[in-house]
Amino acid sequence: MITLTPTAASKLQDVLHSKGLSEATHGLRVFVQGGGCGGMQYGMTFEGNPREVDEVYETFGIKVFVDPTSMFYVNGAQIDFVDNLMGGGFHIENPNAVSSCGCGSSFRTAQTHSGEEPASCGHN
């Protein structure tokens, strides 16, 4: 399961509305893809409907869609929105990440979905 903090949900609602979308018609797709300095990187986008294989959650009125492969890497994660002197943005607290890079969107886990050891991140 992936959860949102109240701050993240509020910011996502603001973004949805600024794009002319609503919580009733769209949800947040959270996904993981290869790349970044840690080997894996997070992605988020709005979509109208979940896919047949997605896990779907709703937190603070925001639907969250996650495909099974991405869920392997982000199960138990929490998405927050942080606004500080260094800038604002969404932050993912992922209990499956053994390290993350300074970029904030790249991470690695102890094991890949295929069971292989991932490459180490050069920015730890």
22 φ/ψ angles, rounded to the nearest 5 degrees: -135, 160
Q: Give the residue extent of every domain in the chain.
A: 3-109
So what's the pLDDT on residue 101?
54
**CB atoms near residue 49 (< 10 Å):** 12
Mean pLDDT of residues grouped by 10 in the chain (124 residues)?
96 96 95 73 93 95 96 93 82 77 51 48 42
So what's the pLDDT on residue 111?
57
Between 2.30.30.40, 3.50.30.30, 3.90.190.20, 2.60.300.12, what CATH number should domain 3-109 receive? Answer: 2.60.300.12
The half-sphere exposure of 87 on its side-chain side, counting CA atoms within 13 A, is 5
What does the radius of gyration of the chain's CA atoms come to, in whole angstroms?
Answer: 15
Look-up: residue for tokens 């919580």?
Answer: 23
Cα 74 to its chain centre, rounded Å, is: 7
So what's the pLDDT on residue 95?
87
So what's the pLDDT on residue 19?
95
29 φ/ψ angles, rounded to the nearest 5 degrees: -90, 125
So what's the pLDDT on residue 85?
73
